[in-house]
Amino acid sequence: MTFGKRILKLHPAALILGSFLLLIVIGTIGLKIPISTPIGHISWMDALFTATSAVCVTGLAVLDTGRDFTIFGQCVILLLIQIGGLGVMTVSVALFHWLGRTISFRHRMVMQETFAHTPRKDIYSLLQSIFIFTGITELLGAILLTVFWSRRFPVDQAVWLAVFHSVSAFCNAGFSLFANSLMDFRDLLSINLIICTLIILGGIGFPVVHDLVHYLFRSGQRRVKLSIQTKTVLTTTGVLILSGTFLYMILEQGHSLKGSGLGNQILYSFFQSVTSRTAGFNTLDLAGIGNAGAMLLMLLMFIGASPGSCAGGIKTTTLTVLLVAARCRMKGNYRPNLFKKSISDVNIMKSLSIVGLSAFFVLVIFFLLLISQSSEQIAGHAGGDQFRILLFEVISAFGTVGLSMGATSVINGWGKMLLIIMMLIGRVGVISFAYVLIINGNQSGIEYVEENMMLG
């Protein structure tokens, strides 16, 4: 059997992980070559970490993107963000289709794995919607950002800044060409709203966009209904943004929001609520937030955005399914319902598995990170408690968020490798990653007599 045929026989989860790993290797080499950096070289570890962060659209950085990389290096990072955000297999399947090549059943299964609720027969229509929506949204974002930044920078620089940040925001990557992210623009309503809109549109998931397009532009009298997936994503996203804004504004009165007017407090809180769920830009110094505010951001990062998007985390739909199921059990009902639809036991068990595995991976990586790092170096550089700072970094990597309290730039090589693993798990998905770790994925087929035991 040839190598190519062996590849095609891999499970979709293994193909997805393999495609990301391949792109990371290519990106690492691209960032390592002399033309990518002003000084002509960076370490292999820094190149690997930056490439992984870009491909996994995380935004955690060990180097200053605007200062430590040339235009060529920044272009490499931007390309990795774009391909990683859309999904390597999404781009390759679309390319094969446009070239007239036959798409194998295995590749169709990969797409089904990525966009689980979308029928296989609709894959090409979905791909078309993804690329059109992505191109139009990023172009509009770049034009609007150019208009505002051209007032502060030369036109050519403003255009490049606008293109880079538009793609980075839509792909929920959080990479910025400014040393302090977007802190210099925290009082500008226009920049905040443009970036937040791009983040939200990139985070609701391409299947939701596909569903909304069909709903809004339905032809004739054809009746089209929004799926339960779309309704759940839109509702949960709205609730998380509004509740996150309100809670951050309440919790941070004596910390990062101290001394700010009411209007600015709302704007700062809204931006942090949106960006903390997956994007990674920041308009406030996160080293100065309180413990309660840090806990809120970690919770939002752990949840993440929505399935089929550029984001990590457990996803909005997983959270909603578990909350609805828990409420159903507490009321004594047998079947949990949502938007006049019943939620299957399979979805409930998968949601429980996602949350359980996610918490397990986060705790294991966090524990290993605590062992491998010097507390004096972390606390001395980041100016805070090592436990909180490192936990924040790990959850940020898992949610592919990219927010940092300052530890990422000073951790040692072992710490960087642990965060690289965490970013991969967060981007590929804990279920897919766990499958790849299992040598034999076949089910046992043996079923024994059931017996109850005490729980809770």
Separation between Cα atoms, residue 70 and residue 35, nearest integer Å: 7
Q: How many CA atoms lie within 13 A of 281 on its CB side?
A: 36
* pLDDT at residue 125, as a whole number: 67
Residues 59/79, Cβ–Cβ less than 8 Å: no
pLDDT at res. 40: 85
Q: How far apart are CA 85 and CA 398, in angstroms?
A: 15
Which pLDDT score is estimated for 119? 47
Q: Which two tokens stand for residue 359?
A: 């918490």
Closest CA to 18 of 5, 8, 28: 8
Q: Given CA atoms 126, 128, 134, 136 in this order, what sign does their dihedral have?
A: negative
pLDDT of residue 127: 75
What stretch of H or E contains 342?
A: strand 341-342
The pLDDT profile of the chain, 456 residues, written as one tens digit per residue, is 554 555 555 566 677 778 888 899 999 999 999 999 999 889 999 999 999 999 999 989 999 999 999 999 999 999 999 988 887 556 555 555 554 555 555 555 555 555 545 444 556 666 777 888 889 999 999 999 999 999 999 999 999 999 999 999 999 998 999 989 999 999 999 999 999 999 999 888 888 887 887 777 765 556 668 888 889 999 999 999 999 999 999 999 999 999 889 999 999 999 999 999 888 899 998 888 999 999 999 999 999 988 878 778 899 999 999 999 888 888 877 788 888 888 888 888 888 988 999 999 999 999 999 998 876 666 655 556 788 889 999 999 999 998 988 888 888 899 999 999 999 988 887 766 666 565 444 555 567 777 767 666
Amino acid at 405: M
Strand-pair category, 337-338 with 341-342: antiparallel
pLDDT at 448: 74
pLDDT value for 217: 74
- Alpha carbons 254 and 247: distance in angstroms, whole number: 13
Cα–Cα distances (Å) from 170 to 78, 108, 308, 378, in that order, read: 12, 25, 14, 31
Q: Compute, in degrees rounded to 10, the torsion defined by CA atoms 214, 220, 223, 227.
A: 0
CA distances from 155 to 106, 159, 195 (A): 46, 6, 20
